[in-house]
Chains A and B, each alone.
Chain A
Amino acid sequence: MHNKTIAELAAGLRAGEFTSEELTRAFLARIEAHDGQLNSFISVTGELALEQAREADRRIAAGEGGPLTGVPIAHKDIFCTDGVRTSCASKMLDPFIAPYDATVVSRFKAAGAVMLGKTNMDEFAMGSSNETSFYGPVKNPWDTAAVPGGSSGGSAAAVAARLAPGATGTDTGGSIRQPASLCGITGLKPTYGRVSRYGMIAFASSLDQAGPMARTAEDCALMLGAMAGFDERDSTCVEREVPDYTAGLNDDLKGLRIGLPKEYFGEGLDPAVAQAVEAAVEEYKRLGAEVVAISLPNTSLAVPTYYVVAPAECSSNLSRMDGVRFGHRCEDPKNLEDLYKRSRGEGFGAEVKRRIMVGTYALSSGYYDAYYLKAQQLRHLISDDFKKAFEQVDVIMGPTAPTPAFNLGEKADDPVAMYLADIYTIAVNLAGLPGMSVPCGFVGSRPVGLQIIGNYFDEARLLNVAHRYQMATDWHLRAPEGF
């Protein structure tokens, strides 16, 4: 059962082949048996899941089931879940029981999905390897000496190991796409504003976006259909109709114009990764697509720009973690300043503190123009590069990450080396465009992902392009040994 996709599970549930309760018990048993090796879950909500499963079975029996009713999923521990710990993998929120559901969570509930638990992540979504979590690192199921990627490493590892058929993630600089690539699964970051951020603990408010992670594009389409749409509680959410993302999945790709940016195939890219990506592009040519050489000239400025914008926004967002109203508070504060400083000093890990400090510096008097304002100008140029490219092409492709999964500990002591892992994903967040990663090969036992970038609100096309590739190849069906 655990090898079935969400689409297959939903069909099986509707046909009465099994119940949601049986399915949920099966996944909970798999988590129990295997997650000790991976550490992909922070909280497993077994009792709650079974209650939800029984309710789903009632709805299905009454003929009221929908495309996700009774399907078990996991939520990244950055989404507020009413009555359930929501930690952001931080000591700061270890005691925090969310008093409400994030919109993403309540939409999955309304669709009848069953929540297995909350997945592990880099602390406050800051990281590319899931090594900064207060609850310990997550291991890559393809090779437990390797990182799963981050920050949605727990969700990626859980889906790859078939501990959950789908999971939610968030992506600010690549945190859905890069772990999807490193764990050999399919992940999608929607256009900024497509999915509500209400109840999703904020890292960088102009970059953050929630999205689905599963083993197929079809499953991502099903999940996105539940997640997307206007929410008046998120003032950055866009009022725009949600199409049926499954409707056009099988559309012919003849005449599709794929842009390959020369900047994505240069220095720093592992040749074995380049080879796997080039083979994927050849497959697309066989499917009828044409390839256009393009240039995104400001690509090399994306990482420096991001490492001003994101820390600046996070320093502002994380100022709400003050030990006063929720979360960790230090013992015996002498005065208010001591309460703030020690609660925050104790509650936050080193990477979070680094980013808060970089952001504080960039926004401080005397430096704002040189750093934050400059970065916002570069952001405009980076977005314009994409706008120009989309005048000539329908989608842009390249590697999701410059290398396959690296080893645990390899980059943990060198923040800047870690930041360069996001070199191909970051510009997409700066521009607010949608992007996906689909599995396209391996280097040894470690997966390689193909990144597909679309124009604003073109998620249906991205899913179609990914799905047609998955109908012609089987990378996405491979499973790691031992799980």
Chain B
Amino acid sequence: MALDRRDVENIAHLARLAISEEEIPAYAGSLSNILTLVEQMKAVDTSGVEPMAHPLEMAQRLREDVVTEENQREHLQRHAPAVENGLFLVPKVIE
């Protein structure tokens, strides 16, 4: 499966990854090789086979809807990149 530069740009955008112009061809190449490996899956007929999302086929365990965790905001924010008044700072999002 061959990916071109536009595919790589789209995927990188979806994944929110900045990649440089110079890097695009190398990523296109390695991603294409990986997808070629993965194409081998087509060789097997899987019609009627249930997809397996979990090795033990467990269902999500539920619990009582009560608060069990303490508020540890200060402790957890101690090593954040930019914090003010308990809020995480980011560039303006609303014009």
Contact = CB atoms under 8 A, between A and B. Distances in A.
Interface of A: 95-97, 99, 191-193, 206-207, 232, 235-236, 238, 298, 300-301, 303-305, 307-308, 315, 319, 322-327, 329, 333-342, 344-346, 348, 353-354, 356-358, 360-362, 364, 371, 373-381, 383, 415-416, 419, 430-433, 456
A431 B49 CA distance: 15
Contacts of A96: 79
Contact of A341 (B16, B37, B38, B60): B16
Contacts of A232: 63
B2 interface: no
A335 B93 CA distance: 7
Contacts of B52: 376-377, 379-380, 383
| Dominant secondary structure at the A interface | helix
B34 to A, nearest CB: 5
Contacts of B61: 235
A357 B13 CA distance: 10
B53 interface: yes
A147 to B, nearest CB: 19
Contact of B88 (A95, A307, A325, A341): A325
Given A99-B75, A333-B91, A364 B17 contact: no
B81 A301 contact: no
B22 interface: no
Given A326-B80, A364-B11, A431-B55, A375 B41 contact: yes
Nearest to A82: B75
B15 A192 contact: no
A189 to B, nearest CB: 12
Contact of B41 (A304, A327, A380): A304
Interface residues of B, number: 52
Nearest to A365: B14
Contacts of B44: 298, 301, 378, 381
B58 interface: yes
9 contacts: A95-B79, A193-B58, A238-B56, A303-B37, A336-B90, A358-B38, A362-B38, A374-B41, A375-B41
B3 to A, nearest CB: 8
Nearest to A307: B38
B7 to A, nearest CB: 8
Contacts of A416: 33-34, 37
A371 B61 CA distance: 28
B51 to A, nearest CB: 3
B81 A323 contact: yes
A300 B54 CA distance: 21
A192 B40 contact: no
A381 B61 CA distance: 25
Contacts of B53: 206, 376
Contacts of B91: 333-336, 338-339
A374 B92 CA distance: 41
B48 to A, nearest CB: 9
Given A298-B44, A360-B14, 8 more contacts: A300-B40, A304-B39, A329-B81, A357-B8, A357-B27, A358-B35, A361-B7, A374-B42
A305 B44 CA distance: 11
Contacts of B92: 335
B46 interface: yes
Given A236-B58, A325-B88, A356-B17, A415 B41 contact: no
Contact of A358 (B31, B55, B78): B31
Nearest to B12: A357
A206 B34 contact: no
Interface in B73-89: 75-82, 88
